[in-house]
Amino acid sequence: MEIIKFIKTKNNTYELHLDNESILNLYDETIINFGLLLDKTIDSEKLSEIASYNDDLDAYYQSLKYINKKMRSELEISKYLRKKEFSTRTINEAIKLLKEKGYLDNDKYIISYINDQIKLTNNGPEKIKDNLISLGFNADEIVIDHDFIQKIDKLIQKKINMNKKSNTYTLKSNISSYLINLGYSKTSFIDKLNEIKVDDSSIIKKDYELLERRYAKKYSDNKLKSFIKDKLYKKGYNIEDINEVINDGDVYW
């Protein structure tokens, strides 16, 4: 096969027109590397080498564009290039070159990711760590050296302000679930949780009166009290508080 002409396109690429009417899109680096400006003859073996070399460059340059938007992990780049239908060999070569050029650095990525998570999200250490593991990092690579106490305090206060009608048990349960889902261990906030004090008396009274109206026709007086107390107890109210609000020292269950 003979090269008939070169046509410059964009991004340092050229169209190579061959005498068999096929067209190759190659980077200028590929053209220079194989001396195609001087040697205009290409056999099938050389053509395969040229295509492979150019694919490696293409995967590398596409990875750079992907990285320029934000830092990426090796796993993210691998998935990105697979979607572009590059071969495993080409992907490995691109990643190898990115590492050699300093574009892939696990330590820098992890530090940057942790700092962004702390500044921009409410995520706790466990969730941050899990996220990094899902991005392809090993657990022993991840060190989160940060005091989350102030953030936990703010999150707890936020939930208290949003749930002023909740009783103590429900409020603490909701806060606990909320913080665990965000990636905080129970030991990191249990002391703060135990400090929460809510006056349940007015809430109990409202709930009692509501249940009393709803079930008054269904149960007699004593059975009604027993039924309502059971309902209130299951909602998380303390039995002593229930009896104190209802002004009834007797328990009917």
Which CATH number is 27's domain given? 1.10.10.10
- Does 119 map to a domain? yes
User: Is residue 207 a part of any domain in this protein?
Assistant: yes
Residues 89, 90, 93, 94, Cα dihedral to 10°: -150
Count of the separate structural domains present in the chain = 4
Q: Would residue 238 count as lying in a domain?
A: yes
Give the burial string for 122-131 (b: 16+ CB within 10 Å, else e).
bbbbebbbeb
Report if residue 239 sits inside a domain: yes
Question: Is residue 15 domain-shared with residue 96, that is, in the same domain?
Answer: yes
172 in the same domain as 91:
no
Q: Per the domain annotation, does 228 fall within a domain?
A: yes
Q: Which domain holds residue 51?
A: 3-100
219's enclosing H/E stretch is none
* Shared domain check, 154 and 78: no
> Residue 247's pLDDT is what?
63
Residue 43, domain member (yes or no): yes
Same domain, 11 and 31: yes
* Mean confidence (pLDDT) of the chain: 86
Q: What is the pLDDT of residues 129-140, one digit of tens each?
A: 999 999 999 999
Residues 95 and 121 in one domain: no
Contact 33, 46 (CB under 8 A): no
Tell me: do 31 and 83 sit in the same domain.
yes
Phi, psi (5° rounding) for residue 138?
A: -85, 150
Same domain, 110 and 167: no
**In a shared domain, residues 26 and 71:** yes
CA–CA dist 247, 252 (Å, integer): 13
DSSP state of 74: H
Tell me the per-residue pLDDT of 195-242, one tens digit each, with 9 for 90 and over: 887 776 667 777 777 777 777 777 777 777 788 778 777 777 777 777
- Answer yes or no: do 189 and 237 share one domain: no
pLDDT grade, residue 153 (50/70/90)?
very high
Quick: pLDDT tens for 16-42.
888 888 888 889 898 898 888 877 787
Query: Do 7 and 96 fall into the same domain?
Result: yes
Q: How confident is the model at residue 251 (pLDDT cuts 50, 70, 90)?
A: very low
Residues 131, 167, single domain; the answer is: no
Strand order in the sheet with 23-27: 3-8, 13-18, 23-27
Within-domain flag for 252: no
> What's the pLDDT at 248?
52
End-to-end CA distance of the chain: 96
Same domain, 60 and 12: yes
> In the prediction, which pLDDT does 226 show?
80
pLDDT at 130: 96
